[in-house]
Amino acid sequence: MKDFYGIELIIFDLDGTLVDSGMDITNALNYAIAPYGFKPLTVEDTIKIVGEGLTRLIEKIVKDNNTPVKDAVLDRFINYYSAHLADFTRPYPGVIKTLEMLGRYKKAVISNKRESLSKKLLDQLGLMKFFDIVLGGDSASGKKPSPAPVKKVLETLGIEPHRAVIVGDSDLDIQAGKGAGVTTVAVTYGFRDKKSLKDADFILDSMDELLTLIEIHDS
């Protein structure tokens, strides 16, 4: 098992890890699909299908090959969501305190949400100041579970893989991290069930526990 010795960089997933965005994404989806007769989604419905990027999210709902409908739903979603990113979205408990306490480490966000939306959300929540770099699903040659965005962060910041950690709430984050050779940390409070996180090097029940992990292993 990997550890935290000599860690210089901590990479975070966004939705389901740093912020609870389920309600705002659900509201935007329901607005987007309303004219087309699809059944409205609950937050529980939404968090089961998010994570692989916006285009894939819309495909999971529309399901057929009706490209004009998919394009229209996508446009409606982006227009609505861009204007309502933080109506209900808030950082999870312990996130702000943890980020404040990690001042001496480089920090990054890698989301499968588009980069512009990720940065706008972080800015609206007052979290952007904590991060050296923010990548979205459109920022690298592949999106999670591809290791491409993790490798891009490492290269941009000049950090060796063994000196980095990725923290996320899904198997996509774990696979991306392992593919790039970084230590993987999963949080159980997010959008995925604990069974899907079993391959992570460490599993946490709250963000506060990250501070304890680092203190124990990198002291």
122-173 residue pLDDT tens: 999 999 999 999 999 999 999 999 999 999 999 999 999 999 999 999 999 9
Examine the pLDDT at 1 and tell me if it is beyond 60: no
User: Of 9-13, 55-59, 64-68, 208-212, where does mean pLDDT reach its minimum?
Assistant: 64-68
Query: Who contacts 10 (Cβ-Cβ below 8 Å, separation ≥6)?
Result: 102, 105, 106, 107, 108, 164, 165, 166, 167, 210
Distance CA 38, CA 165 (A): 40
- Residue 31: per-residue pLDDT: 98
Specify whether domain 22-83 bears CATH 1.10.150.
yes
Inter-residue contact 197 to 190 (CB < 8 Å): no
Domains 9-20+89-217 and 22-83 fall in the same CATH topology: no
Q: Which two tokens stand for residue 213?
A: 């992990």
Inter-residue contact 157 to 106 (CB < 8 Å): yes
CATH number of this structure's domain 9-20+89-217? 3.40.50.1000
Percent of the chain with pLDDT over 90: 84
Provide the mean pLDDT of the chain: 94
Examine the pLDDT at 91 and tell me if it is beyond 80: yes
- Give the domain ranges of the chain: 9-20+89-217, 22-83
pLDDT band at 3 (very low <50, low <70, confident <90, very high): low
Inter-residue contact 132 to 55 (CB < 8 Å): no
Inter-residue contact 141 to 39 (CB < 8 Å): no
Neighbours of 194 (CB within 10 A): 10
* Mean pLDDT to the nearest integer, 99-103: 94
For 32-53, write each residue's pLDDT tens digit.
999 999 999 999 999 999 988 8
- Residue 216: per-residue pLDDT: 57
Residues taking part in catalysis: 13
